[in-house]
Structure 1
């Protein structure tokens, strides 16, 4: 009954509000005055419980805030509301000759406000960088209902503190993002995809270095998966087949290039592949001959989360590690688990992001005991990040000290206290409760 009364009270205060940020503002002002906690929600595609209510918090879903406000065809600057679905924005821009600098497997459901709030990474980070570089401005509503207008569209603005960066990646714990201004690159006509086999992880590393040197400005993605990942995809993804001849390959690499001159780009890619083959870095490979084949190759990589769900219980870890050490953790985990579970590794090798997955028929405390806290301790010892692109949310809030110093976390807690003194905005997320109060 209490939750229903909260909902009715929040609905009653919306009377007279004509625009979306005003509605969010009214709700937050009301909730803050009564110390009612709120949880912002978008597409609910997160993997760490960042948009999940813990007790009886008021949920503020921004899905109806889905309008494109403006688009500048000269600069490529898009201004839109937080509830715009990423795939819809991709389609909107595609019709105008531009692309989003962000591409995710969950693009059909995730929303740009959530993407910005979690600083989502994805498949295009190697080429276009993180959202900290692509978001030019945003509008956010603070816990007390104040609307903070930082919706600039300038590439250069060196006036004071750049406050928007506090909200990019803060997972809604400092305020609710309602509008976003984002720089979008022009769509390029030449796209090539190569799918390659490597005998060992050292060859993958060398191949990445050579790709950066010889493909340079046209390199747009460098993904990897191990043989366990391929086996999982072949077993659980409908219509998937290995595009390479049957053989035992330990690692696979997916390289994408994007440029403006098809013949030049193709020639450059083929010269790189020939050199890599002669140097023993790749044992086999293909270059996609059309869009359909390119899509089928990408489906292997993008379909792995779905395959893991179908395979059974899955312990997921999203880690950022030095590239040269990245696969050492996988091998050590296999030694620890032996026959208890299957260790599956894939990710964005181009930016050092490992998706470590432990797949088992069912969840088992004995398996979890072998994984945690070892995986966090190993990552911390090697100066990695326990969350490369998924955030901390509820599930990893208490693990932040594996990646950040106590002084840094205390400063974060001070910022949280300054902007949200009553602690109503997405409580229990991002920061340990013991360091907030």
Structure 2
């Protein structure tokens, strides 16, 4: 072996010993770990203050026990090449070193897995489509990954009431395709709908572009089934729209990020699909004009307004330059997407056309286009939904998903742009004006400690001073958990910790996430 290979191998072994992960199942994987270390830095290396919890270490006998529990091909994964995608998040900024991925198909199998893990004190990382943006869906150290990818059955759909019952591993886009055959739609729509799982959507209380029209998942979810840390199955699978018997326990799991239990099934109220949908893409000169148009759209479009999204010029530029997407209108400082949906096509089109003509006449809108077919709609929505993808082409992306009062909404982008200056490649702002959710993104060629120190904790302090929320729809995950006090009181966090201890006294479910260390 060459000297450089010997040194690399020694470093890898030293790292494993430092993390306390050396076992009989590890030594054969060192060569692969050496290679993948070059790709994405380990979370535990980037954040050296992290300490692995007092959890047990896997042995070959433990793996064999799980193999007996989950018979069949590709249900117990131990090969490093198979594990790499599960260990690394979508943004390629967080990476764990799990040695084991388990893929149950039923609630009972999830229960059996957690009984073993709780008894032997194995840490567990629940994972859906792994599209999370705050490091909540991948391990920090060597947690066992419990993937819901094989729990993808649609159990039932009551077309009359619009109630869909499904397993947690169903892909959001597939569910929308299924219910659309019955003239229904899912109450949420995300850019990641082609890969995100409904269980992960529930666990993070995902929002998306339809929240303005249909509200949050706290109102759309009628029933839920979850498995607690000790393997107990909690059945709250009501399909009733009104049920006031006792505490509404399902609400605890919506937004809990897998820390209280693993969601396995859900009953979701799906709205009626609109007969007609219209989409306008408009250019404006200022963010004040964006707010004025939003105020006017609520007044004049009211019952047919289904989405109101905005992008700044840098957000559109990153799509046109990095993804070669064409803009349907000329360059402007700001852009908005207004979507309407209703039951009377002629009425809706006339109402939107009259509204847009008024905006153009008074000068609030400088340019615009209305999509004439589904292909144009998809293209325009792509300019909004693919910004996150386009930003990754810059190198490293520092992402912040926040809620702010609308009068302060875009000032955060301006202040951050001034603060980081030329040290960042770009600072962009886009998001859901309709519900006060801003997506702030800063990019640089690679992860830069100086840029990171300019952003945090400044961004969280800025938000807290204006009584905003540091997380609007992505959760806290690993990256934001220690900043929870910027949005929640100490008494509230103490209550959360008490609930966590009650549901998971050994702390095995998604450790190092959501709640801060003591």
Return the TM-score normalized by structure 2. Answer: 0.81
Match of 1:388 in 2: 472
Tell me, in whole angstroms, the C-alpha distance in 2 between the residues paired with 1:411 and 1:128.
29
Q: Which has the higher contact order (CA 8 A, sep 6+)?
A: 1
Larger mean Cα displacement after TM superposition, 149-158 or 365-374:
365-374
Separation in 2, partners of 1:119, 1:316 = 18
Q: Deviation at 1:70?
A: 0.7
Specify the SS of the correspondent of 1:103.
Answer: coil
Are the aligned partners of 2:105 and 2:148 in contact in 1 as well (CA < 8 Å)? no
Is 1:25 aligned with 2:111? Answer: yes
1:26-425 pair list within 5 angstroms: 26-238=112-324, 240-244=325-329, 246-247=330-331, 249-341=332-424, 342-425=426-509
Q: CA deviation at 1:151?
A: 0.5
Contact 2:105–2:151 (Cα < 8 Å) also in 1? no
Once the two structures are TM-superposed, the CA of residue 361 in structure 1 deviates from its matched residue by: 2.3
- CA shift digits 1:179-217 (9 cap, x unpaired): 000000111111000000111000000111111111001
Quote the Cα distance in structure 2 between the aligned partners of 1:395 and 1:363.
Answer: 14
Query: Which secondary structure state, in structure 2, belongs to the residue aligned with residue 275 of structure 1?
Result: helix
Q: Give 1:14 deviation, angstroms.
A: 5.2
Where structure 1 has 5 or more consecutive residues not aligned to the other structure, the ranges are none
CA contact (8 A) 1:6 1:58 kept: no
Q: Supply the distance in 1 between the matched residues of 2:233 and 2:389 (Cα, whole angstroms).
A: 39
Q: Any conservation in 2 of the 1:14–1:27 contact (CA below 8 Å)?
A: no
TM-score with structure 1 setting the length:
0.96
Q: Distance in 1 between matches of 2:191 and 2:63?
A: 33
Partner Cα distance (1:243, 1:308) in 2: 20
Name the count of aligned residue pairs. Answer: 429
Counterparts of 1:132 and 1:5, CA distance in 2: 42
Q: 1:432 and 1:168 mapped to 2: Cα distance?
A: 19
Distance 1:350 1:175, change over 3 A: same
Distance in 1 of aligned mates of 2:500 and 2:67: 27
User: Within 2, Cα distance between the matches of 1:88 and 1:117?
Assistant: 18
Q: Does the Cα contact within 8 Å between 1:7 and 1:58 map onto a contact in 2? A: no
Q: Specify whether residues 260 and 361 from structure 1 end up closer, same or farther in structure 2 by C-alpha distance, changes over 3 A only.
A: same
Native 8 Å contact 1:194 1:285 kept in 2: yes
Distance 1:283 1:125 in 2: 27
Q: 1:8 aligns with which of 46, 59, 64?
A: 64
What's the secondary structure of 1:208's corresponding residue? helix
SS at match of 1:93: helix
- Give the superposition deviation at 1:108: 1.0
CA distance in 2, matches of 1:172, 1:416: 11
- Is contact 2:163-2:269 (8 Å) kept? yes
Q: Does structure 2 conserve the Cα–Cα contact (< 8 Å) formed by 1:221 and 1:257?
A: yes
| Residues 164, 270 of structure 2: 8 Å contact kept | yes
Q: For 1:234-287, what per-residue CA distance to the aligned partner results, in whole angstroms no more than 9, with x for missing partners?
A: 10113x11211x34x110001100111111000110111122222222111111
SS of the aligned residue for 1:272 comes to helix
CA deviation profile, 1:85-127 (whole Å, cap 9, x unmatched): 1111011111121110111111111111111111111111111
Take 1:132 and 1:296, find their aligned partners in 2: how far apart are those partners?
A: 31
Preserved contact between residue 70 and residue 79 of structure 1 (Cα < 8 Å): yes
RMSD: 1.3
Cα distance in 1 for partners of 2:183, 2:513 equals 38
Structure showing greater radius of gyration is: 2
